[in-house]
Amino acid sequence: MQRPAGVNGIIDSKDVILHGPTILWQFGPTVLLRCLASLARNEHRTFLDVVYGVPPSRRSPTARSK
């Protein structure tokens, strides 16, 4: 069965651009900058990884994309 698009939990540039003002307002400039840096480094991370500052190598196997 195919999963619906946008449910994999990995942030992408569209998410950060569309929700940038909300991320800034709710989580602050540090999290927004972490999101942008993660995108610039082409890291496949979840938003919670970015919020909590979890390095990409320390993520659980279930959070990794296929």
How much is the average pLDDT of 40-53?
90
- pLDDT, tens only, 2-32: 555 545 678 889 989 999 999 999 999 999 9
Return the pLDDT at 2.
Answer: 59
Q: How far apart are CA 60 and CA 30, in angstroms?
A: 23
How far is Cα 52 from Cα 49, in angstroms, rounded to an integer? 5
Q: Is 28 left (phi over 0), alpha (psi -120 to 50) or beta?
A: left
Residues in the chain: 66
> So what's the pLDDT on residue 57?
66
Amino acid 53: pLDDT: 87
How many Å apart are CA 16 and CA 32, to the nearest integer? 8
Domain boundaries, the chain: 13-55
